[in-house]
Amino acid sequence: MTNSHEKMIIIGAGAAGFTAAIYAARANLSPVVLAGLQPGGQLTITTDVENYPGFAEVVQGPWLMQEMQQQSENVGTRVIYDIATSIETDTHPMRVKLDGGDTMTADTIVIATGAQARWLGLESENTFNGRGVSACATCDGFFYKERDVLVVGGGNTAVEEALYLSNLCKSVTLIHRRDSLRAEQILQERLFKQPNVSIEWNYNITEILGDDTGVTAVSLKSTTDDSEKQISAHGVFVAIGHDPATKPFQDILDLDNEGYILVKSGTTLTSQTGVFAAGDCVDKIYRQAVTAAGMGCMAALDAEKYLASLDD
């Protein structure tokens, strides 16, 4: 039954959403998590997780998310497997429309819909995803210690990923489709100073090659002439941007020019009273499970304070 009224509806079932749910449930707010059809967020498409605090040994991303969900349910969260298609914030209580046709009402809404990494769209990229292809150097770089890796892209993320990897890996080659980077100048200067970093200007990756051990090389095609070449590598880090999952809220909430939800500095308060936002749909800088979880906690506490102010 989803035509119900709730104190708190949390849209999104990743690290931010489930952490908000754990805190809200323990504060007696009986939260409902709208989990979409594939709950768990970006951690469900990673394998080994070594940087989420609290686990001495490597854990698996999908397992970690199942535990977060179970933990939230154990303390009183209800999880509904439906998609929020729109919210209405000018009514009291607010309304959340679901893909299944139902409408729920809520006193507070927490948006934790996350973001998706952009991919090159190659079939071989799918084949080697998690076996040499990654979209997160902070998450997976450690597995390529003392090896040769590639980073694709020319923005801040690509340069930061390349810098991070240059401290771990034997060599880093940045592959960019143009002859200049769009990353901030200071980052570029830092990158150019790294002795183990080289740049392949004006190239696109056309195929990722490998075998049972994972990635071994990539094929490149020039963007300025017909030349092609192969370079060997064990890891390919795709850093060509992220898309925040904020479309249903674009006419309701203030977003930045890339679609990330704007929040009041140091809080999770959005431009609409009673609506809070947390995790990768807000944050384009840190993008870690632990930072998303931290913001989820903040959103639940901010929402709780808001509800208490309504009671006053």
Residues forming the active site: 136, 139-140
Q: Mark residues 197-226: x for contact with ligand NAP by CB under 6 A, - for none.
A: -------x----------------------
> Which among 35-43, 81-89, 130-138, 151-159 is the span making contact with ligand NAP, rule CB under 6 A?
151-159
Q: How far is the CB of 43 from ligand NAP (least distance, A)?
A: 19
Q: Reduced to 3 states, what is the DSSP secondary structure of residue 304?
A: helix
Residue 15 φ then ψ, to 5° = -60, -40
CB of 296 to ligand NAP, least distance (A): 21
DSSP E strands: which ranges in 35-114? Answer: 48-49, 59-60, 78-80, 84-88, 94-98, 103-111
The smaller minimum CB distance to ligand NAP, of residues 154 and 294, is found at 154
Q: Is 160 in the site for ligand NAP (CB under 6 A)?
A: yes
Nearest to 118 by CA among 240, 285, 203: 240
Q: Does 130 help bind ligand NAP (rule: CB under 6 A)?
A: no
Q: How far is the CB of 63 from ligand NAP (least distance, A)?
A: 28
Q: Interface with ligand NAP includes 177 (CB under 6 A)?
A: yes
Which structure tokens are listed for 178? 């143009």
Q: Is 156 in the site for ligand NAP (CB under 6 A)?
A: yes
CB-wise, 112 or 238, nearer to ligand NAP? 238
The single residue among 157, 246, 268, 272 that binds ligand NAP, judged by CB under 6 A, is: 157
CA 14 to the chain's CA centroid: 9
Nearer to ligand NAP, 89 or 113 (CB): 113
104, 98 contact by CB (below 8 A): yes
Which of 239, 310, 246 has the alpha carbon at shortest distance from 278? 246
Q: Which stretch binds ligand NAP (CB under 6 A): 29-37, 81-89, 177-185, 275-283?
A: 177-185
Cβ-closest residue to ligand NAP?
A: 155
Nearer to ligand NAP, 78 or 190 (CB): 190
Establish if 178 lies at the interface with ligand NAP (CB under 6 A). yes
- Give the list of residues 6+ apart from residue 114 with CB closer than 8 angstroms, or none: 12, 14, 16, 41, 42, 244, 245, 279, 280, 281, 292
Q: Is 155 in the site for ligand NAP (CB under 6 A)?
A: yes
Q: Which of 83, 115, 86 is nearest to 15 (CA)?
A: 115
CB of 244 to ligand NAP, least distance (A): 10
CB atoms within 10 A of CB 82: 17
**What is the phi-psi region of residue 76: left when phi exceeds 0, alpha when psi lies from -120 to 50, beta otherwise?**
left
- State how far the Cα of 35 lies from the Cα of 76, in Å rounded to an integer: 15
Q: Is 244 in the site for ligand NAP (CB under 6 A)?
A: no
Q: Which of 285, 305, 308, 310 binds ligand NAP (CB under 6 A)?
A: 285
154 binds ligand NAP (CB under 6 A): yes
Which sign, positive or negative, has the C-alpha torsion 144, 146, 151, 157? positive
**List 153, 235, 274, 296, residue binding ligand NAP (CB under 6 A):** 153
Q: Are 277 and 246 in contact (CB under 8 A)?
A: no
Interface contacts to ligand NAP, rule CB under 6 A: 120, 152-158, 160, 177-178, 182, 204, 240-242, 258, 284-285
